[in-house]
Amino acid sequence: MAKYSSQFPDPVILVTVTTEKETNFMTVGWASPVSFAPPILMVSIAPGRHTHDLILKAGEFGVSILADDQKELATLGGTTSGRDVDKPAQEKVEILPGEEIRAPHIAGARAWLECKVVSHHTVGDHTVFYGKVVRTVADESKSALVLFNRVYYALGEERGVYP
Ligand SMILES: Cc1cc2nc3c(=O)[nH]c(=O)nc-3n(C[C@H](O)[C@H](O)[C@H](O)COP(=O)(O)O)c2cc1C
């Protein structure tokens, strides 16, 4: 049977978080808006991720939607853990301060959103965090990086506008 989760094109997001002690980020593909009013999104994070417990402590998180030239940051965020590596301190990373939350955002991203956790639920082997979006900033000059079937893509040819 084909792997069900590989059939979905995913955004490539860095979820950022800051607690009293540290700042960290991780790569997330399982993320989506779920409500317009109030504006709420979800991110699905496995309990073993260092970021998981940091979000529980902080009660808030940032979402940086990576631009199509930021694949290296996705690899850094998704293949190393904040338990072992100070990811925000790496040379290729530039972080900028958040305004409504303590977590920073990632410079050069397509967009960044600042979220306050409204609830979280265990769903199978992940925890789904619902975050109320309290600030959204978009850089319209950039396009988003996409992951499909384990391959990163820049968006391709336009096929018409959604009615
Ligand atoms: C492209 C990509 C997408 C990922 N998506 C998720 C995801 O949606 N949820 C998740 O829990 N882990 C996901 N991961 C794995 C985490 O990013 C990875 O385990 C990371 O090292 C956790 O970092 P941390 O321990 O500092 O929190 C993804 C990794 C990559 C490369």
pLDDT at 106: 98
pLDDT tens per residue, range 80-97: 999 999 999 999 999 999
Tell whether 34 is covered by a domain. yes
Q: Domain containing 33: what range? A: 7-147
Tell whether 163 is covered by a domain. no
SS3 68: coil
Indicate which residue's Cα is closest to atom 7 of ligand 1: 28
pLDDT at 100: 98
Tell whether 1 is covered by a domain. no
Q: Kindly indicate the confidence band of residue 67, based on its pLDDT and cuts at 50, 70 and 90.
A: very high
Q: Is 24 in the pocket of ligand 1 (CB under 6 A)?
A: yes
Tell me whether strands 145-148 and 151-154 are parallel, antiparallel or unpaired: antiparallel
For residue 12, the ligand 1 atom closest to its alpha carbon is 1
Q: Please tell me the distance between residue 163's alpha carbon and the centre of ligand 1 in angstroms.
A: 34
Tell whether 154 is covered by a domain. no
Q: Please tell me the distance between residue 46's alpha carbon and the centre of ligand 1 in angstroms.
A: 8
pLDDT at 135: 98
pLDDT tens per residue, range 105-163: 999 999 999 999 999 999 999 999 999 999 999 999 999 999 999 999 999 999 999 99
pLDDT at 147: 97
Tell whether 26 is covered by a domain. yes
pLDDT at 76: 98
Which mutation among 5, 27, 86, 123 tests ligand 1's pocket best, with the greatest number of atoms within 8 A of CB? 27
Task: Give the span between the Cα atoms of 75 and 66, in whole angstroms.
Answer: 12
Q: Is 45 in the pocket of ligand 1 (CB under 6 A)?
A: yes
Which of 64, 61, 43, 60 shows the shortest CA–CA distance to 106? 64
pLDDT tens per residue, range 34-65: 999 999 999 999 999 999 999 999 999 999 99
pLDDT tens per residue, range 8-36: 999 999 999 999 999 999 999 999 999 99
Looking at the 3D structure of the chain, how many domains does it have?
1
Q: What is the CATH number of the domain that holds 19?
A: 2.30.110.10
Tell whether 94 is covered by a domain. yes
Residue bearing tokens 């391959």: 151
For residue 24, the ligand 1 atom closest to its alpha carbon is 26
Indicate which residue's Cα is closest to atom 31 of ligand 1: 78
Q: Are 88 and 25 in contact (CB under 8 A)?
A: yes
Residue type, 1: M
